[in-house]
């Protein structure tokens, strides 16, 4: 259907929908409005992974998650639709490339803030030094930094190539 990279993006978006709805949304939804399964998964995650970002959720984190629900979730759905159902060409539609680049920036930036917060606030939150919990927590957040950052540059480069090709054709 598409390149290996586009296939990875497709499965990333597909997997990220339930993660966003069942896990990430908990950072913004008050406990009394959560589904039972959401609450159980959230408690399991916080306890198992010592994710102190979810204990006393800061306003910046709630804002990031609200933006994920409002901006990113529809992009996941549209990207899946575009890639799998709508697109008769190979890969994602060119019209979607700038949006996916912007998504990559937004997702990698917000996750980078979480990673920085983990690095500098771990000891205050009971994770001393470079214990297993520290590396485990970084390991949970790092893939959602790396893949979107790569996606940002990938789609930005595709857009630039397309602009250059169009410029050459117009001359």
8 against 166, higher pLDDT: 8
pLDDT digits (tens, 9 = 90+) for 95-140: 999 999 999 999 999 999 999 999 999 999 988 777 899 999 999 9
SS3 23: coil
Going from N- to C-terminal start, the domains of the chain cover: 4-170
The pTM assigned to this predicted structure is 0.90
Cβ 12 vs Cβ 147: under 8 Å: yes
Closest CA to 137 of 160, 155, 121, 161: 121
């Amino acid at each position: 259907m598409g390149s290996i990279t586009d296939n990875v993006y497709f499965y990333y978006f597909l997997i990220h929908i339930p993660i966003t709805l069942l896990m990430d949304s908990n950072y913004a939804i008050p406990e009394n409005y959560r589904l039972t399964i959401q609450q159980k998964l959230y408690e399991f995650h916080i306890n198992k992974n010592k994710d102190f970002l979810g204990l006393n959720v800061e306003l910046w984190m709630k804002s990031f998650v609200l933006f994920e629900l409002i901006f990113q979730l529809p992009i996941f759905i549209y990207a899946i639709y575009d890639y799998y159902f709508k697109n008769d060409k190979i890969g994602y539609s060119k019209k979607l490339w700038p949006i996916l680049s912007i998504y990559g920036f937004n997702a990698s930036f917000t996750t980078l803030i979480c990673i920085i917060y983990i690095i500098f606030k771990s000891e205050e939150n009971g994770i001393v030094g470079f214990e297993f919990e520290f590396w485990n927590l970084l390991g949970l957040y790092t893939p959602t930094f790396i893949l979107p950052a790569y996606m940002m540059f990938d789609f930005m480069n595709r857009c630039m190539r397309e602009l250059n090709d169009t410029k050459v054709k117009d001359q």
